[in-house]
Amino acid sequence: MVGYFGGAALRELSHGLAAYILRSDQPLRLLVSPVLSEADQEAIRLGVRTPPDALTDAIKTAFADETALASALAQHTQQCLAYLLATRRLQMKIVLVRDATFHLKEWIFRAGNDVAVLSGSANFTGQALLGNVERLNLHRSWRDGDSETACRDAVDEFEAYWTNSKPHAVAVDLPLALQEDLVDSYDTTRPPTEADYRKALDLEGRVYRSDLGSSVEASVNLERFAPPSDLVWEAGPFSHQGKAVFGWEGAGRRGILAMATGSGKTITALLCAWRLWREVRRLVVVVAAPTLPLIAQWADECQNFALTPYVAGSQNRRRRLREIDERLQRIERGNHGVEVLIVTNNFLNDAEFRELIDRFQGPLMLIADEVHNLGTDAFLNTPPNQIAYRLGLSATPERQYEPEVSDRLVEYFGNVVFEFSLGDAIGVCLVPYDYHLHLVELSHHELEDYRHLSDRIRRLRLAAGRDPSTEDEERLQLLRNQRRLILEAAKGKLDVLESLLLQGSAGQVQHTLVYATDKDPGQLDAANDIIRSTGLRFHQITAQETGNAKLVDAVLDAFRSGGLKVLTAKRVLDEGLNVPEISTAIILASTTVERQWVQRRGRVLRMCAAIGKEYATIHDFLVLPPPGEPRDDDIRILIGGELARCDEFANLARNRASKDGSRDVLQDVRLEYIV
């Protein structure tokens, strides 16, 4: 007895019907209740239609459901039902309860004197049988007490409905015309077989499940994994993507792609996965990314490849693991299919997630976005060695100050197999840029603090000797960070920021990004105050905001449309949010990490046809000591670090040699302080 019989249920009923026909000669009786339209219900109440007429039309509608009839599995179900009808093994009645709903959900099985009853919340619709979270309770008559009573009551109630002994209900036989239509539409001279069922599965892109016995099947979605039809990647402007794909394949499908931000690393990686899947036909792809915005971007790009990835996001850990386990099992049981699991770097290192991966019997591929972020003990000490196919992505994969960590990443992922630098990308998939350099002098107090920290660094290095301990290294790094912060947060930069914003009218200041230091929140707060005082509409995007996806979407939509003129950030935009509308960047603070220099330019230089973006503008700040200071080692170290970054930015700028360019400025500073 099942309520709400829907046409889509025909598709899901296919599983096991052929096996039932082959392995049993017992009859099948069904009591179902189709969904009556409001018009039919009202017509019955008014006496315009009889219940049998309304039920007949409703059940015909269910069997003629367009979605179900377009399904090979639904056709297989109807073939099975036709055979059961022709061999008099199926009896089906349609129930209508007056002034109420027939919402019983029970399945009764007999074997001699034994009875088993499944009862619960499962309707006879496709959504209930396949998609909903439903509960079923099992009662067995051979158990004493409540279970035996429940079985007896279920059988009695079924018979009461079947024999029309219920005073407020009517049960109508499946219309003879519909029975005849079913029988006439299919070949009933032979029983449908499991081979027929498997053929229907294949037509729908599902796989046969045999691990629980030959008569048990389960549906697994076969992704229509393919690149977008308009994607050109082997030739033309984006042929670098094809070269990257072939480079990875030529290296045994292990390696790192060093590709500039904006050059299409995500697309290239999915192309690698697609070509691998076409060979192995059964594949699990694990995508690991360091930030939530990056994870969201991967999910979007996967959909462009006709994939529906599992994103290990907001659910609790236990639920994530259970869902992933189920997906892995679905692929493992089939002979073709693909699953994409998008996880954070932290979850990639989760011990129980690793156990699931270890147990999986099938091809595995790992895509590590911003692969340099996996240079941690948690990953490197216990890497997932059972994953055969490995792909690392990064604009700058080497860890500048940790060559041994870079070596260990290469040991796992493989060598860099393709490079496409920022210089290669400009003019191809990135716009050119103008670079404007602003000189800012430290105050005497700031320089005094800088010298004091330099002295402490020298004394600690001397005391630590040639083989400093881990504790000494950590103390040294802390002092270096404190010294670096003085340059990043120099107060004079805020005056220049205000001047830059006030130089143009509100119409000129738009699609602008202001980067502040991440070492002290004070600079970002001060920058926000300055922008607020100019009357420009702005919003900050920090780790706090990215925790609220709806807020970030609203902020970025307003920025893209021009409602917001300025975004302020610290580091969250270095790796993650894709905002190609950014046309101007004011970089108040930069670290000494060269990777950040590349990432930030790549973030600003992305093409954007929506706003007609032809080039970008970058404003940078070169910090100098106050006038009259002696040119000692401290000053040379200070200036040397600043020049290294400014030279790097200036080298690729289109206005390097122009009057407003940076070449003459850098040459003057170098002559005065270094030579």
Q: Kindly list the domain boundaries of the chain, sorted by start residue.
A: 2-203, 236-425, 433-673
Structure tokens at 336: 């073709």
Q: Does domain 433-673 have CATH number 3.40.50.300?
A: yes
Please report the pLDDT score of residue 131 as a whole number.
45
Of 59-68, 422-431, 447-456, the one with minimum mean pLDDT is 59-68
Indicate the fold that domain 2-203 takes in CATH: Endonuclease; Chain A (3.30.870)
Class level of CATH domain 236-425: alpha beta
DSSP 158-176: HHHHHTT--TTEEEEEPPH
pLDDT score at 224: 77
The rounded distance, in Å, linking the Cα atoms of 622 and 437 is 7
In what order do the strands lie in the sheet containing 538-541? 433-441, 616-624, 584-587, 512-515, 566-569, 538-541
Whether 162 and 93 have beta carbons less than 8 Å apart is answered as: yes
pLDDT tens-digit readout, 320-329: 898 899 889 8
Residue pair 265/345 in contact by the 8 Å Cβ criterion:
no
Q: What is the pLDDT of residues 499-515, one digit of tens each?
A: 999 886 445 889 999 99
Residue 91 has pLDDT above 80, yes or no: yes
Q: Is the pLDDT of residue 169 over 90?
A: no
What is the share, in percent, of the chain residues with pLDDT greater than 70?
Answer: 83
Residue 126: per-residue pLDDT: 47
Query: Over 90: is that where the pLDDT of 603 sits?
Result: no
The three-state secondary structure class of 6 is coil
Residue 128 above 70 pLDDT?
no
Q: Distance (Å, rounded) from C-alpha 381 to C-alpha 400?
A: 20
Residue pair 197/217 in contact (Cβ under 8 Å)? The answer is yes
Q: Report the C-alpha gap between 213 and 202 in whole angstroms.
A: 19
pLDDT tier for residue 211 given thresholds of 50, 70 and 90 = very low
pLDDT band at 575 (very low <50, low <70, confident <90, very high): low
Q: Are 236-425 and 433-673 the same fold in CATH?
A: yes
In this structure, how many other beta carbons lie within 10 angstroms of the beta carbon of residue 440?
18
How many other CB atoms are there within 10 angstroms of residue 180's CB atom?
12
pLDDT: which is higher, 372 or 103: 372
What is the rounded CA–CA span in Å between residue 161 and residue 171? 7
Residue 644, both tokens? 């290294």
Q: Measured between alpha carbons, how far is residue 171 from residues 51, 100, 122, 166 in Å?
A: 9, 14, 21, 9
Categorize the per-residue pLDDT at 314 as very low, low, confident or very high, splitting at 50, 70 and 90: low
- DSSP-assigned letters across all residues of 12-63: HTTTTHHHHHHH----EEEEEEE---HHHHHHHHHTSS-HHHHHHHHHHHHH
Range in 18-32, 67-81, 214-228, 649-663 with the lowest mean pLDDT:
214-228
Mean pLDDT of 387-409: 90
Task: Choose between 347 and 216: higher pLDDT.
Answer: 347
HEC string of 592-621 equals CCHHHHHHHHHHHCECCHHHCCCCEEEEEE
Read off the tokens for 276: 């691998």
Q: How many CA atoms lie within 13 A of 136 on its CB side?
A: 15
Residue 521 is which amino acid?
Answer: P
